[in-house]
């Protein structure tokens, strides 16, 4: 009774895991019969997934039923919760029910508890833009999953150059593997094909913090040219600057406990607070409020159809904080 629970915001990683499972257990000659892909946003398709998961495979190999955007571990409707629990004990040995969701399962739900008791669960969460160790882990996991060996220098260079862009990471690893043939991917190969420096939203935030608008606009142009979605840039900057604002305000109130500050700021790693304190030393909270106001204007302009370059330039230059 194989049930697989894949969740997290790394869409490319989730899809690679689904594809790997299908390749491993479904015979290609029987795939049209033994592979079903459904969308959990449609209640009827979610119910169909439960029904098909109770069906044994035909011919050779296994059957796989993939339900994207699974509702069973989030806001699961009552008319699906009952059939789910009834189905868990009826799934044949060689049928796989794969439940895929971008969100973390709600541990309070009865359906989540029931699934976790029997399912193989894998998390595909992307690291934050400032989480260097998380980005290293992402590169390491992705390379292992694709069967590529990396030297330590290549591991660090890829994490620096690509950050949390999982889809680009997989593409670059495949390109590097062809370039390196049978030998491990090394730092020289990464420098030659990918580059040793990355333009990230984190660097962009640092430029805004220093008040270096020229560099900030150059970094923005690079990000947009590289295909980074403008609204994602705004979201990353907003999260970064909001964190600085929380740290600034709580320190001004005399709070010294980094765990308390991290919890209030929504930062998972309290050790990050020490770095943020150094970054914002001597800068008033009004600076962060002004930057957040500018980002709000930029977001509104983008959603009204402005060109990304114009929206960012107008928003940053119109009322540049001092």
Percentage of the chain lying above the pLDDT 70 cut: 95
Domain boundary pick from 93, 123, 153: 123
My answer on whether 96 and 38 are in the same domain is yes
**pLDDT tens digit string along 103-142?**
899 999 999 999 999 999 999 988 876 677 788 899 999 9
**pLDDT tens digit string along 10-49?**
998 999 999 999 999 999 999 999 999 999 999 999 999 9
**pLDDT tens digit string along 214-259?**
888 888 888 888 777 888 888 888 888 888 998 898 888 888 888 8
When mean pLDDT is compared across 44-58, 220-234, 284-298, the lowest value belongs to 220-234
My answer on whether 117 and 7 are in the same domain is yes
First CA to last CA across the chain, in angstroms?
62
Q: Residue 72's domain is classified under what CATH number?
A: 3.40.50.300
My answer on whether 205 and 171 are in the same domain is no
Q: Residue 292's domain is classified under what CATH number?
A: 1.20.272.10
My answer on whether 270 and 302 are in the same domain is yes
My answer on whether 209 and 186 are in the same domain is no
- Domain range for residue 182? 132-193
By C-alpha distance, which of 76, 62, 3 is closest to 31? 62
pLDDT over 50 at 197, yes or no: no
pLDDT over 90 at 173, yes or no: yes
310 vs 317 pLDDT, higher one = 310
258 vs 69 pLDDT, higher one = 69
My answer on whether 223 and 303 are in the same domain is yes
pLDDT given for residue 268 in this prediction: 62
The number of domains in the chain is: 3
Q: Residue 58 corresponds to which tokens in the numbers above?
A: 């035909």
pLDDT given for residue 22 in this prediction: 96
- State how beta strands 3-7 and 95-101 pair: parallel
pLDDT given for residue 198 in this prediction: 47
My answer on whether 161 and 223 are in the same domain is no
pLDDT given for residue 201 in this prediction: 67
Collapse the DSSP code of 314 into the 3-class scheme (helix H, G, I; strand E, B; otherwise coil) and give the result: helix
Domain boundary pick from 193, 209, 224: 193
Q: Residue 141's domain is classified under what CATH number?
A: 1.10.8
Percentage of the chain lying above the pLDDT 90 cut: 48
My answer on whether 308 and 207 are in the same domain is yes
My answer on whether 221 and 313 are in the same domain is yes
When mean pLDDT is compared across 19-28, 71-80, 272-281, the lowest value belongs to 272-281
* Positive or negative torsion for Cα 26, 28, 34, 40: positive
Q: CA–CA separation, 64 vs 53, rounded Å?
A: 8
Q: Which residues pair with 68 in a beta bridge?
A: 39
My answer on whether 156 and 178 are in the same domain is yes
My answer on whether 223 and 307 are in the same domain is yes
My answer on whether 180 and 270 are in the same domain is no
Domain boundary pick from 67, 102, 123: 123
pTM above 0.75, yes or no: no
69 — alpha (psi -120 to 50), left (phi > 0) or beta? left
Mean pLDDT of the region 167-174: 90
226 vs 306 pLDDT, higher one = 306
Q: CA–CA separation, 295 vs 293, rounded Å?
A: 5
């Amino acid at each position: 009774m194989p049930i697989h629970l894949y969740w997290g915001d790394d869409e490319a990683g989730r899809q690679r895991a689904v594809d790997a499972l299908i390749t491993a257990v479904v015979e290609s000659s029987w795939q049209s019969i033994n592979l079903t892909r459904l969308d959990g946003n449609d209640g009827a398709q979610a119910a169909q997934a439960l029904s098909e998961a109770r069906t044994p495979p035909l011919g050779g190999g296994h059957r796989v039923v993939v339900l994207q955007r699974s509702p069973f571990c989030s806001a699961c409707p009552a008319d699906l919760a009952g059939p789910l629990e009834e189905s868990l004990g009826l799934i044949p040995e060689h049928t796989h029910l794969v439940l895929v969701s971008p969100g973390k399962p709600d541990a309070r739900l009865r359906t989540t508890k029931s699934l976790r008791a029997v399912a193989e669960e894998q998390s595909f969460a992307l690291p934050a833009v400032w989480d260097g160790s998380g980005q290293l882990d992402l590169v390491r996991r992705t390379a292992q999953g694709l069967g590529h060996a990396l030297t330590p220098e290549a591991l660090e260079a890829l994490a620096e150059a690509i950050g949390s862009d999982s889809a680009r990471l997989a593409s670059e690893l495949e390109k590097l593997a062809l370039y390196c043939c049978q030998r491990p991917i090394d730092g020289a190969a990464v420098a030659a094909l990918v580059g040793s420096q990355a333009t990230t939203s984190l660097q962009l935030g640092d430029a805004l913090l220093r008040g270096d608008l020229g560099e900030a606009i150059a970094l923005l142009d690079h990000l947009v040219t590289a295909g980074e979605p403008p609204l994602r840039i705004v979201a990353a900057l907003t999260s970064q600057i909001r964190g600085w604002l929380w740290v600034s305000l709580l320190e001004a109130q005399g709070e010294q406990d980094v765990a308390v500050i991290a919890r209030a700021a929504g930062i998972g790693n309290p050790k990050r607070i020490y770095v943020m304190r150094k970054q914002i030393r001597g800068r008033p909270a009004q600076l962060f409020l002004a930057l957040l106001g500018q980002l709000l204007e930029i977001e509104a302009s983008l959603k009204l159809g402005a060109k990304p370059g114009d929206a960012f330039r107008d928003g940053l230059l119109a009322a540049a904080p001092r």
